Chain A
């Protein structure tokens, strides 16, 4: 039985890339390493998919179980000479060592030769993933071009170490066979400080496996399965092929608990992989899942999650007539298809956007275009102009034409999250540049100010505007806006301003916001103590206003309710249309039904009104002092 060991790569006479170079190949530090991690690994899994079966993509956040820990320590502790350059030695001695695994099934695994100096006729997944760096990928409709993005795996691990456990059909027999190897990227170093070996420089790349003379072969076949089982890695079913990548001691940065991190991963998956998750793709789709400490975190359904669902709607429109084809004029060329989804929404609270959405570039309500090319992986969310109203949002999708796929691919940085025309020359440069020009043209309409809206009332003073608009928002939620007109009435009564203070001592009636009865028999002053507002009562929506009755003695209150229309107070409702009605009055704790109620002043009275959905309601009360006590009985 082969016992896997660590082997450190010395610099060959011709020189080699040092591990620092590999880790820096992402170009810039990623905004969120977990986002890059999801994008990169999912892309690898997707490129390796087998035809006719759904591709399972599972992220697992686990810790090394106590029963497996001795095995980890025994097998993965580096030899003394490399100890200080390989952090994994320290990691495996700590209890509760955390692991982040990417498990893909329904994929073909990493196949091909296991030595980079062997000429590969068929597949060379192993070579390009495990050994080489910067090799061109030529997967048909593949997501990536160069495998630089895998550097994020090493960056994510605090000790720069991953394990690769794969099962793939053998080249000649086609039988499924397992391979297991460990890869670590430390810093380049030399062994001059040690006396027990020859001094020589090392690149900082290490492999863990079946160590040979000058390279490392993976542990293969049943031995690989045995070692994997001893380490507690997710095993393969009898006919399963695929790959499990294990990031040792992942740096979860700001996420304090694995649960939070898992939640974030699940949402990140939705934001970046939704085009290949959609059910209409049939078996040609990615089925993602996230598991943390044995608990499963469902990946949100992109067709339901706001605002992502708007992008999904736009995407589904791409083949229809409502989408447009963007073209470049000189030279004339189809660039791709563009579709747009618009909506009127209640704006999101300022901090309601999830971190996954923010990292994807959509912070809050969308005004973005999702860019993608033939593999239909999200390249980025391109930010367009914001609309002139917070209620009005849009989401677009641009999918590059298949013919230009390679052009757009070449314009992408290693993380595949942008199209940079500066990287190209000639016509290709023009195509990418013009794409953004066309997108800006398409979105220019949103920059224009909206048409002058027709004013629906001129009674509210300017100071009331904010209150008035607040009522609209309430209407959007509950289907009623009960306060607009009552307030207008209030401001009319008070002469200026919108807040009416109820002061019983205010003798001249200026504080009265409700029409007082002005009959000769006397005046009963009524003030609005609390403006009409929406409340829930027994599962229904009601409008509630509180009035103060200042007069002494019994006062008869008449509720005058009406729907406020564009034309003002509605006198004649449409056929069969409902009208607002009094639910009841509330005097102290006593409920009084009916449109009329008699109270003993001075008193405070609540009026509860059942509004009509999708209308504005005007509430007025008319107060009449009751001279003859026999009238009081009428209520």
Chain B
């Protein structure tokens, strides 16, 4: 087991920079998820850690040793691929033991390691089958088993669940988490699915356009995003961004959303935004769950307003409502009993204690 660190890592393809200088430290035993839209460089970063791609610039070290020029087989890593990449002509047991057999481990040890991993992954009765006789979920378990038996320093996962159907994906997600809790191997996991990132990670690395946007625990990223990209990427439905202005009246700071809607800021927020220029083009960032039906009692920072609903989506335990503020579409989450109907007005409340203010030009959260 070991820590992994990346120093100013760059990957260039001819004239395109896929990864533009990444600094990242992954602690021993840590489960880190690289997440971002396709083409953000997350897979390339993972493949550079694996040694499947050369590094154009910078250093990667595993367990303290710089591995820039170390071939994959000597990096002591194991990788799980999106399409499983099982050897089709070998049985499950042979697939799992291939790496150990190449390294000439004693037969008895290979056997016990395979049996142990198979038991952990619940595939003990499948070890004599060929990959084509297995379902997608079972194949993915075998692929994980192949990684586990090697007992490597680092596990690398490259979108391992995206070939599975939604239900199985949730199940395997839990399975992966369980395995990590048992073996505690340092893990780097790549996905484009922010739910997977949030649920699995000790720390999430959000990437965009070859750069790291933000690194943090799932809750940090959720509650304190640093940029508009992170704020919009993490969370589903996504955070709303409404153009707004700061105004001062009667010695209080107000946030103006439309000609008719203007809310006084809660004191804590007002203090934080006091120095923001009143002329800047700003965005109010607010998550759908902070736009709800009105509460029976007035609470500080929770401001009522009325909106004409365009569309409502009843989800069962909640109803998603869509309306516009100055032609910006906004999503809110109300109780199914709030009486929300398509095309009718609804009184709602915005929880400004959980708001974010963003500079529209820089995309940074203030």
Partners in one complex: no
